Amino acid sequence: MRMSNLFGQTLREAPSEAQTAGHQLLLRAGFIRQMAAGVFAYLPLAKRSLHKIETILRQEMDAIGGQEVSLPVVLPADIWQESGRWYQIGAEMGRFRDRNERDMVLAMTHEEAVADLVRRDIRSHRQLPALIYQIQTKWRDDPRPRAGLIRVREFTMKDSYSLDTSWEGLEKQYRANYQAYFNIFARCGLPVIAVKADTGMMGGKIAHEFIYLTPIGEDTLILCPHCGYSANRQIARFRKPEPGRGEPEAVEKVATPGVSTIEDLSTFLAMPKSGLAKAVFMTAEIQEGDAIRSQLVFAVVRGDMELNETKLSNAVKARDLHPSTEEEIRAIGAVPGYASPIGVHGALVVVDDLVADSTNLAAGANQSGYHLLNTNFPRDYQADLVTDIAAAQEGYACPQCGNPLDAQRGVETGNIFQLGTRYSSALGCNFQDEHGDIQPVIMGSYGIGVGRLFNCVAEEHHDEHGLQWPITVAPFQVHLIALSGKKDPGATRQQAEWLYTQLLEAGIEVLFDDRDESPGVKFNDADLIGIPIRLTSSERSLAAGGFELKLRSQQERQMVSQAEVVHTVTDLIARLTAAVLAGVHPVAYQD
């Protein structure tokens, strides 16, 4: 490709909407352009890299028995109504009606579509197991798109679906996809870790996320550097401290004027936060058939801990969860800032298991300016549910080995789910087993956001001058620059044209900067675009009988003779590729 013909241009300054280094460089280097919030156009350089990523995806899916399909972006609403997600998913789902007033969906994922396909085509156990996948456009109307392609509304995803006759078969396919995902990310030059995750709106039994650790990430990961325990903070467990149970003492009401926070109460009572009970009010939207009911949830955690909203949402099976209003809190007989479950009515009370095991905690009196000492569960109040609803934090004890946990930020680049019969039962996806009995197909779901992966590679591989693409996903392998000489301007161009032809004939991908620009502009653009190998034709190289060769990742330059240049570049591409592929190896499954 000649840069004089390349659609798009580099920018000297990053547009104001750019939020992260990778996002800025993709815009400046002419890879992407924003069309609307969370909606992007991909220019030729980006499309070449994305095509390489998609090729890697296809190769790894094919290697574990995947078969590629293509499912519609627009789906009938009735299959989403059958699964129940039509009612469970909020405004992020794109809904519209066609000209016949039929409800339709812009697909954000394709579990329902696959289930509908399966119930039409799968009849016998002899047709299973199977693994189908696609690389398809999706739409999720995210209210907070950010960081370029990392959080968008329109996106391309590789989503695959395993179909099995047994849970053992699902486990086998799940582990095969687990390894394939590590292979994919390694081949793209992106370091990731796998952590246990919440199944969320997908439902199912088990889920893992593949996380690129970076400060720009929105996910918080809880990790143990000692035993390897890892989980998304949404579901992370920790070893809770021994509560030090004593004999329950009599409840005592004390005046606490103006003391309405845990911090102030701890100071006022000269009591550690671990001796307090914290009240948190959330309003849950709970699905009951086709109807949705609002329910105030009164959550109680120990004063030195934070509520984990995902754990609470899962515990009460909420479709949505949001903070309660003061009016809602007062309607159950509680007083904001001075609340406890004692004497309230109409609330769903959920108590953290550590609170249930503790004695003599100070809590609100449900009267402004007063608290109660020595409250005890279940003597003084009852709970609808006692379970773990506390959020794991850095420094807490690992649930497996007891050592202090670490917390790091990261971006989810892929996820896998053991769906089980969540969708097959809802949509009637059955097969006849070897005994003639009818059984539901057991499903798994596996996704990688292609654009997000691309953006994460840009975040990982850059310096202060621009991008530094791994050879496996770079838009081109070689950036060839022709500099005009002062003595004989045509000679260096002629030499570069010769090399351009030789490289193309050798099957090497070349971006040829044949523009009439200054050396500074050409070198700056080469650094910005980030192609791994740079070759320069100049008066100096011409005098030396060859070309100047430089790796984007290194400062050193070397002269390569005209006779050896194609062989040298071919060998260098092979070595750079081998260095990336050295990261592909078997990984231990995080159970």
Residues 297 and 370 in one domain: yes
Q: Is residue 541 included in any domain, yes or no?
A: yes
**Domain-located, residue 83:** no
Q: Do 124 and 54 share a structural domain?
A: yes
Closest CA to 473 of 48, 14, 30, 5: 48
- Beta bridge mates, 443: 163, 420
The reply to whether 363 falls in a domain is: yes
Residue 502 belongs to what domain range?
466-581
Is 16 among the domain residues?
no
Q: Are residues 299 and 371 in the same domain?
A: yes
For residue 102, tell me if it sits in a domain. Answer: no
Give yes or no: residues 154 and 200 share one domain: yes
Query: Residue 115 carries which DSSP code?
Result: H
Report yes or no on 328 lying in a domain. yes
Token couple for 342: 């004692």
One domain, residues 342 and 426: no
CATH number at residue 298: 3.90.960.10
Pair 50, 161 in one domain:
yes
| Together in a domain, 60 and 145 | yes
Does residue 553 fall inside a structural domain? yes
Give the count of domains, the chain: 3
> How would you write the pLDDT of the chain (591 residues) with one tens digit per residue?
999 999 999 999 888 878 899 999 999 999 999 999 999 999 999 999 999 999 999 999 999 999 999 999 999 999 999 998 898 888 899 999 999 999 999 999 999 999 999 999 999 999 999 999 999 999 999 988 989 999 999 999 999 999 999 999 999 999 999 999 999 999 999 999 999 888 765 566 789 999 999 999 989 999 999 999 999 999 999 999 988 778 999 999 999 999 999 999 999 999 999 999 999 999 998 877 767 889 999 999 999 999 999 999 999 988 889 999 999 999 999 999 999 999 999 999 999 999 999 999 999 999 999 999 999 999 999 999 999 999 999 999 999 999 999 999 999 999 999 999 999 999 999 999 999 999 999 999 999 999 999 999 999 999 999 999 999 999 999 999 999 877 777 888 899 999 999 999 999 999 999 999 999 999 999 999 999 999 999 999 988 889 999 999 999 999 999 999 999 999 999 999 999 999 999 999 977
- Measure Cα distances from 91 to 139, 265, 282, 293, 313 in Å: 12, 40, 20, 17, 18
Within-domain flag for 78: no
Cis peptide before 129 (omega within 30 of 0): yes
Question: Are 58 and 199 within one domain?
Answer: yes
CATH of residue 205's domain is 3.30.930.10
Domain match, 432 and 313 both: no
Q: Are residues 182 and 306 in the same domain?
A: no
Please identify, among 459, 482, 499, the residue that sits at the C-terminal boundary of a domain: 459
Shared domain for 302 and 321, answered yes or no, is: yes
CB 128 within 8 Å of CB 165: yes
* CATH at residue 482: 3.40.50.800
Regarding whether 559 and 502 lie in a shared domain, the answer is yes
At residue 126, the 3 state secondary structure works out as helix
Q: What is the model's pTM?
A: 0.90
DSSP 200: G
